Structure 1
């Protein structure tokens, strides 16, 4: 007798293509594999019957630099500054779920400021971007809380701690004169 597939998760996920536009992303060999696992985990968490049209065509993750993120953010959101992650849903029915772009400089700086590894922070942002492609948003407080809970649960499956947990304050050493 075959086991029934879980209504909560799926074993096969749509294809994920990762394009590395900025070689800096490859400096840490753990970043791209963990980021891919985060995206797969986010896709697998959605029951197949609830996936948006286009999901079967997969998604693309672009790992780029801040200059490209600035251009994308300005063109699509009217904001003249780089950002950490952008998501673009596809308008093509059944062909492609969409695209997620991450900017190296911003992601690296945020990871350092937040006391996280680059790989863990990039994985979090990849999962965040995929959730947007799946229809989740965070404009309203209730939606934000749901999205944060989903991200935390997805990352826990990968052994990554709660990205929203407060970080301990580190005292800076006084400079010697």
Structure 2
């Protein structure tokens, strides 16, 4: 797995995002039956100001968010709740992820979680988006949350939706 990180905010280096991104991507891809070494992901480790601009430009939402993703190609399943078709190559680029430091830090504090655990969850979430998973339709959200929970469990992390949904 090649994770190329562009550090726009140096706080991400202090957090060790490279190791978190490597683990999140490797575990996600392996869980879904892909060989991690065959794929590339680019991560923009930025701040709220930068992600706010990206969110405005690409989603018409001029406010900061925690994570954004841009898959290299459309992979979403047509039927609600169906798994997307996994990429086969030869293009090894899965896409790009942007993650905002201040929003992640605030959310981690609000959720009572470590920054590392919360960021790991958001990186898994971003990788799943690159693979065509989404949460717009209820059935798709259920599928995506279940897969996130399984992947995070493999990394020894708690279900991030436990307190929200149950």
Aligned residue for 2:141, secondary structure, equals helix
Q: Check whether the contact 1:69–1:83 (CA below 8 A) recurs between aligned residues.
A: yes
Which residue of 2 is the match for residue 37 of structure 1? 23
Equivalent residues in 2 for 1:80-159 (5 A)?
Answer: 80-91=62-73, 94-159=91-156
Structure 2 unmatched ranges of 5 or more: 74-89
Structure 1 unmatched ranges of 5 or more: 1-13, 168-177
Give the alignment's Cα RMSD to 1 decimal.
2.3
Greater CA radius of gyration, 1 or 2?
1
Instruction: Considering fraction of residues, name the structure with more helix.
Output: 2
Aligned residue for 2:163, secondary structure, equals coil
Q: Check whether the contact 2:69–2:98 (CA below 8 A) recurs between aligned residues.
A: yes
Aligned pair partner of 2:12 in 22, 25, 37: 25
Q: If the length of structure 1 is used for normalisation, what is the TM-score?
A: 0.76
Q: Report how far residue 112 of structure 1 moved.
A: 0.3
- The one of the two structures with greater contact order (alpha-carbon pairs below 8 A, sep at least 6) is 2
1:76 aligns with 2:76: no
Which residue of 2 is the match for residue 9 of structure 1? none
Could you list the structure 1 runs, at least 4 aligned residues long, displaced by more than 4 angstroms after superposition. Answer: none
Equivalent residues in 2 for 1:31-70 (5 A)?
Answer: 31-48=17-34, 56-70=38-52
Q: If the length of structure 2 is used for normalisation, what is the TM-score?
A: 0.81
> What is the aligned residue count?
149
